[in-house]
Amino acid sequence: MSKGSYLFTSESVAEGHPDKVCDRISDAIVDTFLTAEPQARVAVETLCTTNHVVLAGETRGPASITPKLMEEVARQAIRDIGYEQDGFHWKKAKVEVLVHGQSADIAQGVDAAGNKDEGAGDQGIMFGFACNETEHLMPAPIFYAHNILRSLAEARHSGAEPGLGPDAKSQVTLLYENGRPVRATSVVVSTQHAEKLSQDQVREIVRPHVLNVLPKGWMCPEEEFYVNPTGRFVIGGPDGDAGLTGRKIIVDTYGGAAPHGGGAFSGKDPTKVDRSAAYAARYLAKNVVAAGLAERCTIQISYAIGVSKPLSFYVNTHGTGRVEEEKLAKLLPEMVDLRPRAIREHLGLNRPIYARTAAYGHFGRAPDADGGFSWERLDLVAGLKRELH
Does residue 66 form part of some domain?
no
Pick from 354, 355, 376, 356: which is nearest to 365 by CA?
376
Summary mean pLDDT of the chain: 95
The CATH number of the domain where 376 resides is what? 3.30.300.10
Higher pLDDT among residues 4 and 288, named by residue: 288
Q: What pLDDT, on the 0 to 100 scale, is given for residue 306?
A: 87
CB neighbour burial string for 36-49, b if at least 16 within 10 angstroms, e if fewer: eeeebbbbbbbbbb
Annotated active-site residue 17? The verdict is yes
User: Which residues have CB under 8 Å from 153's CB, separation 6+?
Assistant: 14, 15, 16, 166, 168, 359
Query: Is 58 labelled as part of a ligand binding site?
Result: yes
Q: Look up the domain containing 311 and give its range.
A: 124-132+270-388
Strands 164-177 and 6-13: antiparallel
Query: Is 154 labelled as part of a ligand binding site?
Result: no
Of 8, 127, 129, 233, which is the active-site residue?
A: 233
Annotated active-site residue 31? The verdict is no
Q: With 80 as the cut, is the pLDDT of residue 105 above it?
A: no
Does residue 329 form part of some domain?
yes
Annotated active-site residue 146? The verdict is no
Model confidence pLDDT, tens digit, residues 276-292: 999 999 999 999 999 99
Q: What pLDDT, on the 0 to 100 scale, is given for residue 114?
A: 54
Structural domains counted in the chain:
2
Alpha-carbon span 254 to 181, nearest angstrom: 15
Query: Is 370 labelled as part of a ligand binding site?
Result: no
**286 and 379 fall within a common domain:** yes
DSSP code at position 89: E
Alpha-carbon span 148 to 146, nearest angstrom: 6
Annotated active-site residue 252? The verdict is no
**282 and 333 fall within a common domain:** yes
Query: Is 117 labelled as part of a ligand binding site?
Result: no
Concatenated DSSP letters for 119-151?
A: PBSS-EEEEEEEETTSTTSS-HHHHHHHHHHHH
Annotated active-site residue 248? The verdict is yes
**169 and 304 fall within a common domain:** no
Annotated active-site residue 91? The verdict is no
**219 and 292 fall within a common domain:** no
Alpha-carbon span 247 to 243, nearest angstrom: 8
Alpha-carbon span 45 to 55, nearest angstrom: 6
Of 11, 15, 20, 362, which is the active-site residue?
A: 20
Alpha-carbon span 274 to 263, nearest angstrom: 5
**365 and 384 fall within a common domain:** yes
> Using an 8 Å Cβ cutoff, are 101 and 185 in contact?
no
Range of lowest pLDDT (115-119, 218-222, 232-236, 245-249): 115-119
Q: What pLDDT, on the 0 to 100 scale, is given for residue 1?
A: 44
Beta-carbon count within 10 A of 99 CB: 18
**226 and 278 fall within a common domain:** no
Does residue 249 form part of some domain?
no
The reported pTM is 0.95
Query: Is 232 labelled as part of a ligand binding site?
Result: yes
**229 and 297 fall within a common domain:** no
Annotated active-site residue 247? The verdict is yes
